[in-house]
Amino acid sequence: MSYTLSKNFNEYSDFVQVMLKCTGKDMKKASYPFRDKRLAISHYVGTYLTRLISGLYETKGLPETITQRKHEEKLMIGGWSVIFRHPENGQLYSMFGTVGGERDLENKPSLAIVSHPQLEKSLNLEILDTHFITRPSSVTYDGTCVVARNTSLLIPFYDVIYKYASLMVENDITQLLKVVHARRDSITTAPDEAGKTALETAEQKLEDGEMIIPLVTQFMDEVKNYPQTGTYGEKITDLIEYTQYLKASLFNELGLQANYNMKREAIGSQEAEMNIDSLLTLVEDGLLCRQYDWDLVNKNFGTDITVDFGKLWKNVEKKQEPENTEETTEETVSEESVTKEDSVEETVTEEVKSDDQEETA
What is the tally of structural domains in the chain?
Answer: 1
Within-domain flag for 192: yes
Within-domain flag for 219: yes
What is the DSSP secondary structure assignment for residue 78, as one 8-state letter? I
- Distance of CA 234 to CAs 229, 231, 240, 244, 265, Å? 12, 6, 10, 16, 17
Sequence-distant (6+) residues with CB within 8 A of 83 are 66, 92, 93, 94, 145, 146, 147, 148, 293, 297
| Pairing state between β 143-149 and 123-127 | parallel
Full residue range of the structural domain in which residue 190 is found? 186-227
The confidence score (pLDDT) of residue 352 equals 46
Is residue 125 within 8 A of residue 84, CB to CB? The reply is: yes
Burial string for 119-141 (b: 16+ CB within 10 Å, else e) reads eeeebbbbbbebeeeeeeeeeeb
Is residue 172 within 8 A of residue 43, CB to CB? The reply is: no
Is residue 132 within 8 A of residue 109, CB to CB? The reply is: no
Per-residue pLDDT tens digits for 120-152: 889 999 999 888 777 777 778 899 999 999 999
The confidence score (pLDDT) of residue 225 equals 61
The confidence score (pLDDT) of residue 42 equals 87
DSSP for 197-259, please give it. HHHHHHHHHHHTT--------HHHHH-EEEEPPS-HHHHHHHHHHHHHHHHHHHHHHTT----
Report the distance separating Cα 46 and Cα 35, nearest Å.
18
- Distance of CA 168 to CAs 23, 38, 48, 254, 258, Å? 29, 12, 13, 16, 16
Per-residue pLDDT tens digits for 244-282: 899 988 888 887 776 655 555 555 555 545 555 555 688
Instruction: State the Cα angle at 241 between 239 and 242, rounded to 5°.
Output: 65
Within-domain flag for 200: yes
Within-domain flag for 353: no
Output phi, psi for 233, to 5 deg: -60, -45
Within-domain flag for 196: yes
Is residue 79 within 8 A of residue 155, CB to CB? The reply is: yes
The confidence score (pLDDT) of residue 166 equals 93
Sign of the torsion formed by the C-alpha atoms of 155, 159, 161 and 167: negative
Identity at 95, one-letter amino acid code: M
Within-domain flag for 214: yes
Within-domain flag for 161: no
Within-domain flag for 309: no
Residues of the chain with confidence (pLDDT) below 70? 1-31, 183-191, 195, 206-234, 258-280, 316-361
